[in-house]
Structure 1
Amino acid sequence: MDTIILNKGKDKAAWQLHPWVFSGAIATVEGTPKNGDVVAVVNTNREFIAYGVYNNGSRVAVRLLEWHPDRIPDENWWRLRIQKAVQARAHLFVDGFNTTARLIFAEADFIPGLIADRYGDYISIQVHAAGVEQVKDIVIDELNKLLQPKGIYERSDLKSREHEGLVDTNGLLSGSMPPEFVDIIENGIHYQVNIIEGQKSGFYCDQRENRLLTAQYVKDKKVLDCFCYSGGFTLNALKMGAAAVTSVDSSALAIETLHKNIVRNNFDVTKLTAIQSDVNKQLRAFGEQEEKFDLIILDPPKYAPSRSALDRASRAYKDLNRRGMMLLNSGGLLATFSCSGAMDIDTFKQVLAWAALDAGKEIQFIRQFTQPEDHPVRASFPEGEYLKGLLCRII
């Protein structure tokens, strides 16, 4: 096995079980490992630290897998990791209540570079790293053995693949092609999910618990759901007795899918106003029309993909939330989220405080949201904690 020797003083994170070794931490590469090959990582005294997968074209030059010298990452190792990840989520699938969840969450499950989501009878995967690309056949075979899905579809059209020297790959990997819309159930609500063309891997199952929590506050309320996608928060609000829901998204496919989901669940379509529009533009329009709401949900895309983008993203989050706060009635609620890993919860609170000040409002934080258990956070990899949210009351 080829060996990676780390610079003196640059091995601390690896000893502490952090899964990333950056290229600047490497002193010497012994051998000629190809991208995706398993390598041994040692310190300057040649003491074993871990096994990982190598990529000389990526800033993360080694993604560490295993810290026990006797457990070499061979085919059986990969299969056991997949089994552990899938078995840990087995209790989340309840017939008639929930048929979707994340099965594998990359570094959190010791399988860096792999995302796998279950949507009813189908599985959607995303491969971010060359190491997983090397063992993709093993991954597919093991998922088939464990879950017997009707089909496994790949949605590896990710910017991160470019840094790994990988081209975009979309297509069927095994079984039958998913239909245009796959029927899933989340929180007892049916959704039509487009695995082939939908956002991310088809759906945002990381908001499952937050949708249910937010819906506790909607009865007889006028609700605005921004960046609604296929209606996760909207449908929960209608189920829990909202008086009216206005849903906004820039995607025509999202609005089309939302309408399908309303019909699929036999919800009262007269309570829904669905608008295809840029959210910031629409918030400005609502302000000019002097519209007011009792509860507003802001679930925007990732504004800060890296720490270098945090200042710019903070300004965008502040402006978005300021506009939302100005549309709320006194005593109204704002459920606001950030899926930017670079934005920690304390910074997010500060951004909201600035937004409230600019809006001339005073707010209370009454609930904190996070990602659900199928998106766990490894203690040694805090970067895996990306989703955070706050429920704010206008006072």
Structure 2
Amino acid sequence: MNKITLHRGKDKAAWQLHPWVFSGAIAHIAGKPANGTVVEVFNAEDEFIAFGVYNAFSRVAVRLLEWNPEREINDSWWRDRIQRSIGLRKHLLTDSNTTVRLIFAEADFLPGLIVDKYGDFMSVQVHAAGAELVKEVIIDELVAQLNPKGIYERSDLKSREHEGLADANGLRYGQMPPEFVEVIENGIRYQINIVEGQKSGFYCDQRDNRWLTAQYAKGKRVLDCFCYSGGFTLNAFQQGAAEVVSVDSSALAIDTLKRNVVANGFNSESHQAVQSDVNKYLRQLGEAGEKFDLIVLDPPKYAPSRSALEKASRAYKDLNRRGLMLLESGGLLATFSCSGAMDIDTFKQVIAWAALDAGREIQFIRQFTQPEDHPIRASFPEGEYLKGLLVRVV
């Protein structure tokens, strides 16, 4: 087996079970490992640390898999890890919840692999060379565990470029998913598009937060921004919202949202779906003097890396300033960031600046995070990406 030796003093994170070894930490490579193949990692004193998969293209040169020197990294190892991940989530699959994230990459000791279950179908994303080399084993084990009607791959992530991998989309097992697959979350029916929808088809990471936010929606006028297929909108209606305005720039998202409102029997006369740039629409609402009781801001990732954090902070501040200006005293803002580079304390500070610029006095009354099928591994804090705040204007 190929052997990688780390520079003296660059082994601390690896000993502490962090799964990433950056290229700058490598002192010597014995052999010529192909991208995605298993390597042994040692410290400068020639002590074994862990097994990992190597990739010369990536800044993360080795993704560590196993710290027990007695455990061989073979097909059985991958199958065992998949079985464990699925076993920890089976209790989440009920009649009122038929969608769940089955595998969450590094958090489940399976770097580069994301698997979501949508009713009778699965969506798979592979964004690391190690998982790419055993993709057939992964698909076979998913079939053995849950026997889905079909498995569709959506490996068109930017991160594949950094791994030296081309995009890979297409059917990997069974039946092609229909244009709209029905799933149930929090007892609400969703028509989702696995093949053409955003990410892997649906954002199940907001499951808990949708329900929690909706507890404040009864009898209220709600504005759901970056609504996608309507998660916050539908939960608000389920909890008795008087009126909801939903905004997204995607025509597919708005069309899917409308289907979901009808599928759940909600009053479409109390719903307005708007295809628009959210910042532009918020500006128009402000100019028109519109006010809301509850506003949801769930934007895409503004800070893909720490180098983008300053620019992203300005974007988050301006977005939230516009939202806060549409609230009267007592109004609520549920605001989110899915940027891993922005921690909760920084996010609070950005919202505080936004309130200052909007001339609003605010209170933080609840914090949101990602649900249990998106666990945060203690040795991999980078897996904590979703955070949110429920803000009250006073």
How does the TM-score come out when normalised to structure 2? 1.00
1:234-249 aligned within 5 A: 234-249=233-248
Task: Return the offset for 1:181.
Answer: 0.3
- The DSSP-based 3-state class of the residue aligned with 1:323 is helix
Could you give the per-residue CA deviations for residues 141-192 of structure 1, whole angstroms, max 9, x where no partner exists? 0000000000000000011000100000110000000000000000000000
Which residue number in structure 2 is paired with residue 53 of structure 1? 53
2:160 is aligned to: 161
Any idea what SS the aligned residue of 2:169 has?
strand
Q: How far apart are 1:72 and its partner, in Å? A: 1.7
2:263 & 2:272 partners in 1: Cα distance? 17
Structure 1 partner of 2:7: 7
Give SS of 1:201's match. coil
1:314-354 residue CA offsets vs partner (Å, 9 max, x unmatched) = 00000000000000121000000000000000000000000
Alignment of 1:1-395 (within 5 A): 1-95=1-95, 97-395=96-394
In structure 1, give the amino acid aligned to 2:114: I
**AA matched with 2:179:** E
Task: Give the unaligned 5+ runs of structure 2.
Answer: none
Question: Which residue identity does 1:371 align to in structure 2?
Answer: Q
Distance 2:287 2:181 in 1: 39
- In structure 2, how many angstroms separate the alpha carbons of the residues matched to 1:139 and 1:277? 40
Separation (CA, whole Å) in 1 of partners of 2:190 and 2:216: 22
**Residue 272 of structure 2 aligns to a residue in which SS?**
strand
Distance 2:45 2:105 in 1: 30
Distance 1:378 1:266 in 2: 40
Q: Cα deviation per residue 1:34-54 (whole Å; 9 max; x = unaligned)?
A: 000000000111100000000
SS of the counterpart of 1:207? Answer: helix
Q: Could you tell me how far 1:294 is from its partner in structure 2?
A: 0.2
TM-score normalized with structure 1 length: 0.99
SS at match of 1:228: coil
- Secondary structure at the aligned position of 2:279 is classed as helix
**Structure 1 residues not aligned, in runs of 5+:** none
1:340-375 deviations in Å (ceiling 9; x for gaps): 000000000000000000000010000000000000
**CA deviations over 1:283-326 (Å, ceiling 9, x no partner):** 00000000000000000000000000000000000000000000
CA distance in 2, matches of 1:58, 1:159: 12
AA in 2 matched with 1:38: V
Whole-angstrom CA distance in 2 between matches of 1:84 and 1:363: 43
Query: How large is the RMSD of aligned CA atoms in angstroms?
Result: 0.4
In 2: Cα distance, 1:266 partner to 1:342 partner: 39
State the AA in 2 paired with 1:93. Answer: L
The amino acid that maps onto 1:137 is: E
Partner letter of residue 147 of structure 1?
Answer: L
Output the CA distance in 2 between the equivalents of 1:338 and 1:350. Answer: 13
What percent of counterpart residues are identical?
Answer: 74
SS at match of 1:115: strand
SS at match of 2:385: coil
Question: How far 1:73 moved relative to its partner?
Answer: 1.2
* Alpha-carbon distance, 1:61 to partner: 0.1
Deviation at residue 209 of structure 1 after TM alignment: 0.2
